[in-house]
Structure 1
Amino acid sequence: MHAPELADVVAAADPDALADWLHHRALPADRSHALARLPRAALRALAGFAATDDTVELLDSVDDELAARLLRAAVPADSVRLVDALDSDRGADLLRELDEDTRGRILTGLPAERAAALRALLSWPVDSAAAHMVPETLTVSPGATAAEAIDTVRTRASDLRTDARTGAYIFIVESDGRLAGVVGFRDLVLAAPATPVATLMDTQVRTVAALDDAEDAARALDAYDLVAVPVVDERGRLLGIVTEDDAADIAAEEATEDAERQGGSAPLEVPYLRASPLLLWRKRIVWLLLLFAAEAYTGTVLRHFADEMEAVVALAFFIPLLIGTGGNTGTQITTTLVRAMATGQVRLRDVPAVLVKELSTGAMIALTMALAAVIRAWTLGVGPEITVTVALTVVAIVLWSALISSVLPPLLKKIRVDPALVSGPMISTIVDGTGLIIYFMIAHATLSQLQGL
């Protein structure tokens, strides 16, 4: 038997039917498509009759913008109830999607301690590790024994929210809040009851600073195969943890944003099918206008060398081929390099190694492409002088493109600019004009017809 449609569930206001619908619609994409089709009145009704656990499950399985839409539609009491039931990091993510007035009303309606925890998360820069952390952690003092630590954990765990997710690690914290070490829960349970926690803990704790980039925190979890990484302030005090779930969300979001930027567009921030034509226009037009302005200098270069093209008309035959080759070469390199930087494989100090690798590869590609250019020139019957000019230009443009494409992304990262901004269209634009200058300079050196121009 098939589960009813979500709209029918809402019309019937049947909590059991919603639970059945969630069971049969386990995929986030199916849930998102159904929830996105509900009008505001239906969203308000859903928030009102559904069991809190079921609504939270639904909110956790859809994107931030769609989940926030349900909170906006809900009556204030329901929105407060749902945010209070959400994990702290998830609740903070959704509150960021709301306007200031709505956010303020929800925070005012929450218990004081809960509201303070969420306000603390919202106070951090959105791209920082602290903005994505879970503030609830299981902690014990270094003076406790294993038995005392287990009793403390048992007592505190019943009061902690389900978002603590700290079953694997118990953090040892000094009286002033500084992180002293960490002990695995399994090690704690297996130790003799009188064993001091200080002798069990690992003091070499992998941590991230509160203001570190969230992507760095996600990378640390992956690199060191951790379940959670603690977030500390400038004095080493434990603020919270970034978990595996958080890291996966951060990595997916960063990968999507990088892909959109490399395509020459600002990140959409909503799923594509829910992006209106107006939003798509806003996200794309600024980049296109910038690229249009940058590309304008290509026309300036062509006008500057108009006499050369008039003297040797055949030079114009190869302009699309040459600038296209340079742009394609640069796009290949930046795509590979930006991804390697995003996964932590390449850092600024690796630039010399990257240059050697890419210029070596570029030399082999340049020779291969030069051979292809010779064949193309021969089929056009342009003569040996122009053939040599085109072949030499292909070599020079490929190497030039490899050089700038290898250096720009790490340099942008160094000055805290997203290297994904060096998109395929941007590299192509840079190479177009400079490639034409290289072409005509080589033509001046190799073609007798251009001597004196």
Structure 2
Amino acid sequence: MNEFARVAGSDALAFARILANDHIADIVEALNGEPHDVAAELLAEVPFERLVEIFDKPELEAAPELVAMLPRARAGKLLAAMSVDRAADVLRELAEPARSEVLGELSPAVRATLLSILGYPEHSAASIMTTEYVSVPPDWTVGRTLDYIRKVERTRETIYAIYIVDPRTQELLRALSLRRLITGNSDYRILDVAPDRTPVSATPLTDREDVARQMSKYDLLALPVVENGRMLGIVTVDDIMDAMIEETTEDVHRFGGMEALDEPYMKMGFLPMIGKRGGWLCALFLSEMLTASVMQHYEVELEKAIVLTLFIPLIMSSGGNSGSQATSLVIRALALREISLADWWRVALRELPSGLMLGTMLGLVGVARITLWQHLDLYDYGPHWHLIAATIGVALIGIVTFGSLTGSMLPFALKRLGFDPASASAPFVATLVDVTGLAIYFSVALVILRGTLL
């Protein structure tokens, strides 16, 4: 990176020579660190074949902006030479009027293919598929198929999966791996070599998370996208990995209590970043104001037993932590399809005793702490210290149990209402449990301390 920066600042032509010989991943990383105008100037010196390799990498963050800075004819030629799925990704993010102008430079066939992919929902299988796959008729031999692969391998996204397709109807008949193909007799029909089973496939509208699960389940390098038996394209493992990284990033952002970022952290402007974080913080702050309302309701009790305020942070954090743990576990289990909506009662029956046990553990620690401090004269809780200890112990059992149960049920409720379970962020759960936890705490205190401190 230091060499890139040094050369970029002094000699664009020398930098271009480095681009022509270095590893693509390193080139993309270097370009991501340059301003858009500098990156465009450097790329202008790169041979066209190398330029296609660079723009084919999903890691090139400013690809749409850089395409928009190219002459329209060169931009159209570049998109036509790129892999179809990557070209569709760039076009999807390209602003008008550059998008329409670049589309106008493409051949009718390429334009129709890209527009058909762009017509599908963004997170669907068809939106990340490519039409550049190896397909052959059922009457071809193994030898002829291998010869064909040698001729077209440079223009195909992958050659490790071969699809047998009816040339008239485009119906997907069979699928086989390259390994199985090369071990077959060259005179055999490819249909006789392929496994005698219906290929695993996805529909165009299948969510990309489901595509990832299918590919993982069946150990596939590519998954065909089929509509009414007709093959439209394939989703490759590298495409789904990129999609899952994006999906996971969005979930992590939401779980942290904010909107998902549209750009890398260091690329986000100040005001857009405030917009992504400010709304959620305001919503959480307004929710936390209910905590003040609860404390105002028990103002008289607090005046009589000031000692109870010492344990409010402990009570609130314990309930929020247990709720966040349960929420994290359930959201991940739902995402991996380890559980479904119908399993909510099983999860509740599992979290209820877990919450009771965890609450008892924390309750015992709280009681031990008060007892130890009282006997070591580290703090004097007064003549009714044993009742205060009992209040803390019982309250922790109730609050941790409630937090675990609430945290585990909230993702189910959101999913049932059609929302992303990841919206049940840790701050949101903690806020909810904080309010109810205080009510539980003071209610327990009223029962145990009535007639003494209260």
Q: In the aligned structure 2, how far is the partner of 1:14 from the partner of 1:443?
A: 72
* Counterpart in the other structure of 1:271: 264
- Matched ranges for 1:1-150 at <5 A: 5=5, 7=8, 11-12=12-13, 15-20=16-21, 22-23=22-23, 27-28=25-26, 31-40=28-37, 42-61=38-57, 63=59, 65-141=61-137, 144-147=138-141
- Matched ranges for 1:154-193 at <5 A: 154-155=147-148, 158=151, 162-173=155-166, 175-189=168-182, 190-191=184-185, 193=187
Matched, 1:212 2:206: yes
- Write out per-residue CA displacement over residues 408-436 of structure 1, whole angstroms, 9 at most, x where no aligned residue: 22343344422111111111111011111
Shift of 1:405: 1.4
User: Which residue identity is paired with 2:434?
Assistant: D
Paired residues of 2:58 and 2:86 also in contact (CA < 8 A): no
Matched, 1:225 2:222: no
Matched, 1:259 2:252: yes
Alpha carbon RMSD of aligned pairs, Å? 2.8
Paired residues of 1:47 and 1:55 also in contact (CA < 8 A): yes
* Counterpart in the other structure of 2:401: 399
Q: In the aligned structure 1, how far is the partner of 2:49 from the partner of 2:176?
A: 32
Paired residues of 1:47 and 1:78 also in contact (CA < 8 A): no
Shift of 1:14: 6.8
- Write out per-residue CA displacement over residues 318-350 of structure 1, whole angstroms, 9 at most, x where no aligned residue: 111111111111222222332333333333344
Q: In the aligned structure 1, how far is the partner of 2:28 from the partner of 2:285?
A: 40
- Write out per-residue CA displacement over residues 177-196 of structure 1, whole angstroms, 9 at most, x where no aligned residue: 33333233443451463547
Paired residues of 1:409 and 1:420 also in contact (CA < 8 A): yes
Shift of 1:370: 0.3
With over 3 angstroms needed to count, the CA separation of the structure-2 counterparts of 1:104 and 1:66, relative to structure 1, is: same
Q: In the aligned structure 2, how far is the partner of 1:415 from the partner of 1:297?
A: 24
User: How many residue pairs were aligned?
Assistant: 442
Paired residues of 2:13 and 2:42 also in contact (CA < 8 A): no
Unaligned runs of 5+ in 2: 374-378
With over 3 angstroms needed to count, the CA separation of the structure-2 counterparts of 1:60 and 1:140, relative to structure 1, is: closer
Instruction: Specify which of 300, 319, 343 is matched with residue 312 of structure 2.
Output: 319
Paired residues of 1:47 and 1:74 also in contact (CA < 8 A): no
Secondary structure in structure 2 of the residue aligned to 1:208: coil
Greater shift, 397-406 or 336-345, is seen at 336-345
Shift of 1:226: 0.5
With over 3 angstroms needed to count, the CA separation of the structure-2 counterparts of 1:64 and 1:333, relative to structure 1, is: farther
With over 3 angstroms needed to count, the CA separation of the structure-2 counterparts of 1:381 and 1:209, relative to structure 1, is: farther
* Counterpart in the other structure of 2:441: 439
Structure-2-length-normalised TM-score: 0.88
Greater shift, 442-451 or 387-396, is seen at 442-451
Q: In the aligned structure 2, how far is the partner of 1:208 from the partner of 1:294?
A: 42
Q: In the aligned structure 2, how far is the partner of 1:45 from the partner of 1:387?
A: 71
Shift of 1:369: 0.4
User: Which residue identity is paired with 1:204?
Assistant: T
* Counterpart in the other structure of 1:305: 298
Shift of 1:263: 1.1
Paired residues of 1:312 and 1:449 also in contact (CA < 8 A): no
With over 3 angstroms needed to count, the CA separation of the structure-2 counterparts of 1:174 and 1:54, relative to structure 1, is: closer
With over 3 angstroms needed to count, the CA separation of the structure-2 counterparts of 1:356 and 1:27, relative to structure 1, is: farther
Secondary structure in structure 2 of the residue aligned to 1:170: strand
Percentage of matched positions with identical amino acids? 33
Secondary structure in structure 1 of the residue aligned to 2:62: helix
* Counterpart in the other structure of 1:333: 326
Q: In the aligned structure 1, how far is the partner of 2:96 from the partner of 2:414?
A: 33
User: Which residue identity is paired with 1:67?
Assistant: A
Paired residues of 2:16 and 2:42 also in contact (CA < 8 A): no
Greater shift, 436-445 or 221-230, is seen at 436-445
Q: In the aligned structure 1, how far is the partner of 2:185 from the partner of 2:10?
A: 52
- Write out per-residue CA displacement over residues 33-70 of structure 1, whole angstroms, 9 at most, x where no aligned residue: 54432342x33333433112222332344635422221
* Counterpart in the other structure of 1:429: 431
Q: In the aligned structure 2, how far is the partner of 1:350 from the partner of 1:409?
A: 12
User: Which residue identity is paired with 2:55?
Assistant: L
Q: In the aligned structure 1, how far is the partner of 2:414 from the partner of 2:164?
A: 37
- Write out per-residue CA displacement over residues 360-407 of structure 1, whole angstroms, 9 at most, x where no aligned residue: 332322111001211333335432222212111101111111111112
With over 3 angstroms needed to count, the CA separation of the structure-2 counterparts of 1:195 and 1:55, relative to structure 1, is: closer
User: Which residue identity is paired with 1:273?
Assistant: M
Unaligned runs of 5+ in 1: none
Secondary structure in structure 2 of the residue aligned to 1:209: coil
Secondary structure in structure 2 of the residue aligned to 1:180: strand
Q: In the aligned structure 2, how far is the partner of 1:4 from the partner of 1:283?
A: 33
Secondary structure in structure 2 of the residue aligned to 1:183: strand
Structure-1-length-normalised TM-score: 0.88
Shift of 1:290: 1.3
User: Which residue identity is paired with 1:331?
Assistant: S
Matched, 1:287 2:280: yes
User: Which residue identity is paired with 2:257?
Assistant: G
Q: In the aligned structure 1, how far is the partner of 2:416 from the partner of 2:82?
A: 37
Paired residues of 2:180 and 2:193 also in contact (CA < 8 A): no
Secondary structure in structure 2 of the residue aligned to 1:232: strand
User: Which residue identity is paired with 1:439?
Assistant: Y
